[in-house]
Every structure is written in structure tokens, then in C-alpha cells.
Structure 1
Amino acid sequence: MRGHRGRRRSGGIGAGRGRPLVVAALVLGVTLVAASSVAVWRGQGVSEVGTDAAAELTAPPPTEAGDPPVPITDGRGGSERTVRPPVTLSIPALGLAAQVNQVGITPETGEFDVPPSVDQVGWYEYGPGLEAEAGSIVVAGHVDSADQGHGAFYALGELAPGDLVEAADEAGEVHQFEVVAREVYDKEEIPLARYFARDGELRLTLITCGGEFDPAAGRYQDNVVVTAVPAP
């Protein structure tokens, strides 16, 4: 997992539509940025760092006999699960303070949903919340929009190892995470099962679009993924 991923330029998470990918038995569609997005951002030549560190976080920890397998394959958290959703997300290095919405799958399209306002971000409500001790807490956001300009994650690709990300819950408790990796994937090649997993070490996964904008397809060609772990 080094360097830019293959450039087949189709499908995946991001603006536009393509072949859906399956994670946790849900078709997580292809729209993380509104289909109205245009080449406001135009790609920033995001490089990769910390790919080995990110990969090491996905190894599942030992579980006791009888524990249910993860991720839960129907996308639901189970009736006994008590979830503490993030309600705000702050990234001091980017001067970002964004409202976090709970999002899931759009029933009509089977696509991963995100807030219509590009200055807000979406937490995948069927995955781990801030109470979790394992797995990937997923927050996705827009990079830009034709109508609204820069999105909350416009500069996500500028984050570097050591930068801090702060997520606050409804009680006002702030959970601090430290960036360990920044990766770039062709949309068709992003390993969604890895980034939406409920096992492995606890981490915060931030996803947006990146790469060059394809005017014909109406979408960006890559995804930028930033991984952060609980700060010491």
C-alpha cells in the first residue's frame, strides 16, 4: 500500500455514479460529494504518508469465544448498543470547526449519504461511535460544490502525522485523535471493508474526494483518506 493507487478512474466513493461496492452487506454508493460539484478544487497533488501505520491498525484484536463477528453484516449496531455520536469535528491545523450529522444509506439509491450543506460532515451511524474501543469511526465530507464553494474537507489532504482532530459528543466531552496516515485511492480501489470495519484498533477515518476533476463524468477521480488514532 504505497504510492498512488491505480488510475482506472471509475466507481468508488465520490461525486458521480459508478459500480457500487459492498461493505457490511450494504451497497455503499458512490456519492460523497454532491453530483453538482465542479472543478473548484482541481486536485492538490496529495501525497501519501503513514500507509504502513494505517494498515497495522486493521489487524483484529483477540476476542473471547462467542463474540459476534465484526463488522456486523447488516449494517445495524444491534439493539443493545449504546452509541455516542460525534456532534462537532474540529481540526485546528485547518482552522476547521464543523457540525457532524448522523448519516447512513440513502434508501432510494443505496448510496452513502452526506449532508447537503458542504460546510457540514457526516458520521456513519451504523459504525462505531465515540464510545467505541475498537473499529473505524467514519466521517465523510464534501471537498467542494458548484453552488456552495469549498467544503469542510477541502484541505483534508494537507493534514500530516501529528496533527490533531477533535470530536465532541452530545455531552460536550472532547475526544482527541492524532493523525497517523494520509492515503490516496482511485475510487474503484478504495478498500471500503477496511475503512468501515468494526474491528482492529480504534481509529477515526476521514474521507473526501481528491485528484483531478473529470468534467465528463462530473466527479473527482480519487479519494483522500486520513486516519487518526486516540491521542496519548
Structure 2
Amino acid sequence: MAVYRSPARVPQAALPLRRITPSVLLMIVGGLIVLMTVTLTTVERPSGQAHGSAADAPVGAPGAPLSPQPGRGGSDSPAQPAELSIPSIGVRSPLVDLARQSDGALPAPTDYQRAGWYAGGPMPGERGGPPAVIVGHVDSDTGPAVFYRLRDLAVGSEVQVRDIAGSVLTFQVYRIEEYAKNTFPADAVYARSDRAELRLITCTGTFDRRAGSYRDNLVAYAALAGGGS
């Protein structure tokens, strides 16, 4: 956060105008430029206060590749997902389509209050391939974002995904992990499975003020627990 400190005023009587020479005038102008420079100060992030930036996106990211290349699953073809609901932590969000960036990373949605799914990979509910992937921001400069409480998930928590046809698939969380972004284990997180699997990903850990993002990712692993409704 940048804090602007107003420069001290120069007393009018300190330098009578009738005595100013070109060299003195140059010194005055230089001094004013220095005094008017914005001073940046480091502000500690109070516990529980949101702090983030557009660069503070998850999945594998930002920055971590979607590897191995997640593709469509094998046996099932559910409809496109439309909404995510996680009752135990009060999350309910429309799902926006996300695509890979040129570096292979998956960005988070531009809207901090919405989650997004990797539209180039399996749909939630597909079996026999990599997991479906849903990501969201943890927070922003203005407050908590859609996945702020993802850290409060517990093993056994239910995650519901409604598709565009109105059917609801229920997944159950069976594992929660934190990984450093610079060593994100993409091969393990996106491993193929005979089950219909889902990954929920956001940022966590220490906030790196220089980079403008968190150093770690939180990944919730979930598997299909029930059919449609």
C-alpha cells in the first residue's frame, strides 16, 4: 500500500525573491521535486485482513503449469458446469470458463467474487481422466474474495456443482494440501483417476509484497460422492 506524505512547506520568507539567482532557482526546483516524491511504506497485513492483487491468482497458479496436459475424461459426458456451491463455508458462485495462458498457466477469473473452471479439461463429473479444476481468488485489496474460506474446508465437506441442465453433482473432500508455487506438484495434483475427481485451488501462505502475490497454493481434493438431483 502506498502512503503519500505531504512535503513540508518552504517558508515564504526563507528565500526572498529579489535575491534568487538562476543557480539558486535550480536548487529550489530540485529540492521541491525531491520533497514531492511519493514515499512508499511497508504496511503489515493485519491478521484476517484481505490483501491481494490481480497477479494473486491460483492454479497451478498463477505461474504453475497445468501439467500433465489435462484433457477430457473417458467414460462420462456431463453437461457444462454453471454454478459452484460449498455450503459448509458459505460459497455460492457462478462458474466462468477459463483457458490456459501462453505459458501454460491457468489464470483466476477477473472477478474476485466468482470462481472459474478449466474449460479445456474435463467437466466436473467426468471419469477416467484428469480431475476437473475450479479456481478462485482468496482475497483482493478491498477484502475477502470467493475462496477466502477455502482454508476452512474439512475432510468430508460437500462440494456441489450444478450444470446448465440443472442437475447437481455432489463431491466430497478427501484431502487438503498446501504447496509452494515454485514447486507445485502438477503431476500429482492433476493425475488421472478412474473416479470423477475435482480440484479446488486458491492462494495461501505468506504474502510476497515484492511479487504482489502469495507464495503458496491451497488445493482441496474431492471425488464424486453422489448422482444428480
Fold shared by both chains (TM-score > 0.5)? yes
The answer (yes or no) to whether the contact 1:138–1:195 under 8 Å persists in 2 is no
Give a deviation string over 1:32-88, Cα, whole Å, max 9, x none: xxxxxxxxxxxxxxxxxxxxxxxxxxxxxxxxxxxxxxx55xxxx49xx95622110
Residue aligning to 1:142: 137
CA distance in 2, matches of 1:206, 1:87: 15
Give the number of equivalent residue pairs. 165
Structure 2: state its 5+ residue gaps.
1-58
Structure 2 residue aligned with 1:96:
91
Identical-pair percentage: 35
Cα distance change, pair 229–220 in 1 and its aligned pair in 2 (3 A): same
Q: Which secondary structure state, in structure 2, belongs to the residue aligned with residue 157 of structure 1?
A: helix
Amino acid corresponding to residue 226 of structure 1 in structure 2 = A
Correspondence for 1:226 among 220, 223, 228? 220
Asked whether the equivalents of residues 164 and 178 of structure 1 are also in contact (C-alpha less than 8 Å), the reply is: yes
| Structure 1 outlier segments of 4+, above 6 Å | none
Q: Are residues 1:166 and 2:160 paired?
A: yes
Q: CA deviation at 1:131?
A: 4.4
- Name the Cα RMSD after superposition: 2.4
1:136 and 1:203 in contact (8 A); partners too:
yes
Larger Rg: 2
**How far apart in 2 are the matches of 1:178 and 1:82?**
20
Match of 2:200 among 203, 206, 222: 206
Deviation at 1:13, TM superposition (A): 3.8
- Which consecutive residues of structure 1, in runs of 5 or more, have no partner in the other structure? 1-11, 26-70
- Paired with 2:80 and 2:135, the residues of 1 have a C-alpha distance of 14
More contact order relative to length (CA 8 Å, sep ≥ 6):
1
- Out of 119, 142, 147, the residue aligned to residue 125 of structure 1 is 119
* 1: CA distance, partners of 2:189 / 2:66: 12
In 2: Cα distance, 1:171 partner to 1:152 partner? 24
User: Which structure has greater helix proportion?
Assistant: 2
| Cα distance in 2 between the residues matched to 1:13 and 1:214 | 17
- Counterparts of residues 188-203 of structure 1 (less than 5 Å): 188-203=182-197
Q: Matches of 2:60 and 2:122 in 1, distance apart?
A: 20
